[in-house]
Chains A and B, each alone.
Chain A
Amino acid sequence: MTAKMIRWAAAAFAAGIALTSSIAVAQEAAVEYPLLKPTRQEWSFAGIFGHYDQAQLQRGYQVYKEVCSACHSMKLVKFRNLADEGGPGFTEDAVKVLASTYSIQDGPNDAGEMFERPRLPSDAFPSPFANDNAARAANGGALPPDMSLLAKARAVHRGFPWFVFDMFWPYQEQGPDYIVSLLTGYQDPPEGVTVPEGTYYNPHFINGISLRMPPPLDNDVVQYSDGTPQTKEQYAKDVSAFLMWAAEPHLDARKALGFKVMLFLIVFAGILYFVKRQVWRDVAH
């Protein structure tokens, strides 16, 4: 009877498919952005024992400061963070000097007036524009996104079935991979494709075929002092690592603590296994 029922169910299922597919309009699925998935990179902070490369974060900060910060704010990061453990490793004095090169409006003072003063380590990075509208006005209507969380906000979905594997072989670096791919992915549009005026074709862009940001990096635009190659690719990688740190400043602490906690839990589970076996030794179950 089971076999008969299964055959009956299969027939009903096939009929259902035939019926519903006749209703379904055979149309192309909507275009999915980005056109090209990010290219996977090697990162020092990937994997269970991953941690940030201090020299890379310093170079990345340099690229951010000299190139990106002309248009992009980073409102959630404070100068003092540059000296935090697991970060770019600036000295406290260096942070003080660096912060004081920027000014900020404070007040009101005793006379009730607002005044400018040098920034302190406890102040956030300065924003390039007074407000979002000013930023839009200066960038052809497009708002350069704040970069504080960009490396986590631009994690491009890999889709089925990859996310199943990613669960057990962790891959949490989609964000920085995306940023590297975007920064190095500018190219001429293919034959027959026209992009809106004032935008630049980039198949790695998450939200369309082109974006308003002109290619920001080129070879030798930033002077490195440690002999690292001054290529577009190297800049892209360094600044992406820096942005990952900006978005997830406690990653080093998280992975280091994780290892201790996991080790403890595994040993504890082992002990509990023997406890359980001992308790149940005389009870058939």
Chain B
Amino acid sequence: MSGHSTYVPKTALGKWFEARLPVVRLLHDTAVSYPTPRNLNALWTFGGILAMMLVVQIVTGIVLAMHYAADSTVAFRSVESIMRDVNWGWLIRYLHANGASMFFIAVYVHIFRGLYYGSYKPPREILWILGVIIYLLMMAAAFMGYVLPWGQMSFWGATVITNFFTALPIVGQPIQTLLIGGFSVDNATLNRFFSLHYLLPFLIAGVVVLHVWALHVVGQNNPLGIDVKSDKDTVPFTPYATSKDLMWIVLFMIFYGWFVFYQPNFLGHPDNYIEANPLATPAHIVPEWYFLPFYAILRAIDFNLGPIDSKLGGVLAMFGAIAVLAFLPWLDTSKVRSGRFRPIFKVAFWLFGLNALFLGFLGSVKTDDIIMGFQAVVWAKLSTLYYFLYFLVILPVLGYIEKPKPLPVSINDAILAKSAPSSVH
């Protein structure tokens, strides 16, 4: 899409199509001739892995929907009949349920790769923001999907999360009522969540098209974070990137298969094998693992701040933690993209990564559990503080005070410099 198209139709059919709808040219320019930096590492294959996961989720989801009944009286049973009586139903459901987790593992790798190598910086701001939108849609889809089996965690998770909206003044209560279709989570909730759960993946697919389009306009970032200067810096997408992507996709499938076949329930919650019961609250309501860091941020705000009570404060902090990502291109003031050349950023980044994992852990325990001598909520406050400090203070300030290491002139030069010592004999 960027630059000059090298596609030349050879067959008569190809020429016929080319004159009417140049779709083959589009595919050729996107997936064959597209120049890709030759120094990309394995982290750059996660875009392809995510595309594969989206397809897996849509295909398994469509099959599941053929057997699933979105009615609160039979939903739980219909999922169990998929597990027991539908041919290969257990496989398809475990692929779908674990697929959601794999999707998030891949997206987190993808996001952290972008954070480290500065993939959000000009000219990739729109590309990055489209990614944040996809991530938001994924979270909505995953949350609604988790409600569908109508287990205890489905029901109580839906109750807790939809309750967030009531924290908003004036509009909160009507929004929640509209969202769950009544005054408590019930059959109406299940029906609209099923409808939306089927819709969202196609919205995601649509935004993915825009994401890939934007990527092909600006070109891929690379581990050095410097612009492509000449043809020497790139290789054609096919066969170079395709062969590498394919290998890593299959390696990722091995990881995926490990969970599906040997520990399909490791990433789920046992309480979801108990049918939803509005009269029995589970001792400990926890969201799915991929939401835990945000859950920890939500619970960290247990104090009132002027007119903002702790509930609204928690909800604002949680949504703020996601929203801040969209402003990242303007918060990071450094002109240097790649973390490789930023000594102080590197430290702050890895601390941010560890902090995110720690927040996930804190989201999984009770707020009054004692962790390393302090209540979990105390740690959650410190971790939340660092989460926001990273985006709102450290990144803006570092651009002015940090002295980056010298950048290579071009990708080609850097590769030659790297391979030179070994070729001297």
Contacts and interface: CB of A to CB of B under 8 A. Distances in A.
Interface string A1-28: 1100110000001001100110111010
Interface stretch (A52-60, A94-102, A110-118, A251-259): A251-259
A253 B89 CA distance: 12
A20 B261 contact: no
Nearest to A23: B378
B323 interface: no
B74 to A, nearest CB: 12
Nearest to B343: A2
A153 B271 contact: yes
Contacts of B258: 262
B243 interface: yes
A17 B270 contact: no
Contacts of A253: 90
B262 A48 contact: yes
Interface stretch (A213-221, A229-237, A277-285): A277-285
Given A20-B381, A24-B378, A153-B271, A2 B243 contact: no
A266 B240 contact: no
B262 A29 contact: no
A188 interface: no
Given A155-B270, A283-B240, A262 B370 contact: no
User: Which interface class (under 10, 10 to 19, 20 to 34, 35 or more) fits A?
Assistant: 35 or more
A254 B257 contact: no
B382 A285 contact: no
A170 interface: yes
B162 interface: no
Contacts of B343: 2
Interface string A149-164: 1001111110010010
Contacts of A207: 283
A274 to B, nearest CB: 9
Contact of A258 (B257, B270, B401, B415): B257
A30 B403 CA distance: 49
Interface residues of B, number: 57
Contact of B254 (A154, A175, A262): A262
A137 interface: no
Interface stretch (B13-21, B192-200, B244-252): B244-252
B344 interface: yes
A266 to B, nearest CB: 6
A279 B263 contact: no
A24 B247 contact: no
A84 to B, nearest CB: 9
Contacts of A81: 84
Contacts of B260: 258
Interface in A131-181: 145, 148-149, 152-157, 160, 163, 166-167, 170-172, 174-175
Given A152-B265, A152-B273, A276-B247, A265 B370 contact: no
A88 to B, nearest CB: 15
Interface stretch (B63-71, B181-189, B361-369): B361-369
A35 interface: no
A224 interface: no
A211 interface: no
Interface in B322-347: 343-344, 347
A29 B370 contact: yes
A247 interface: yes
B266 interface: yes
B274 A153 contact: yes
B81 to A, nearest CB: 8
Given A258-B257, A269-B247, A153 B382 contact: no
Interface in B257-299: 257-258, 260-266, 270-271, 273-274, 283
Contacts of A249: 84
B357 to A, nearest CB: 11
Nearest to A148: B80
A1 B38 CA distance: 35
B243 A255 contact: no
B385 interface: yes
A258 B250 CA distance: 15
Contacts of A152: 265, 270, 273
A70 interface: no
A104 interface: no
Contact of A172 (B80, B263, B347): B263
A23 B263 CA distance: 41
A265 B248 CA distance: 11
A284 B419 contact: yes
A13 B283 CA distance: 33
A157 B284 CA distance: 12
A20 B375 CA distance: 10
Nearest to A267: B250
Nearest to A168: B258
B240 A280 contact: yes
Interface string B91-134: 10010000000000000000000000000000000000000000
A201 B403 CA distance: 66
Contacts of B385: 16
B273 A153 contact: yes
27 contacts: A2-B344, A24-B374, A25-B375, A29-B366, A29-B369, A76-B77, A149-B274, A152-B265, A153-B274, A156-B270, A160-B361, A166-B266, A170-B266, A171-B263, A172-B264, A249-B84, A254-B90, A254-B264, A258-B257, A261-B257, A265-B253, A272-B243, A275-B243, A276-B243, A279-B240, A280-B240, A284-B415
Interface of A: 1-2, 5-6, 13, 16-17, 20-21, 23-25, 27, 29-30, 33, 48, 76, 81, 145, 148-149, 152-157, 160, 163, 166-167, 170-172, 174-175, 207, 247, 249-250, 253-255, 257-259, 261-262, 265-266, 268-269, 272-273, 275-276, 279-280, 283-285
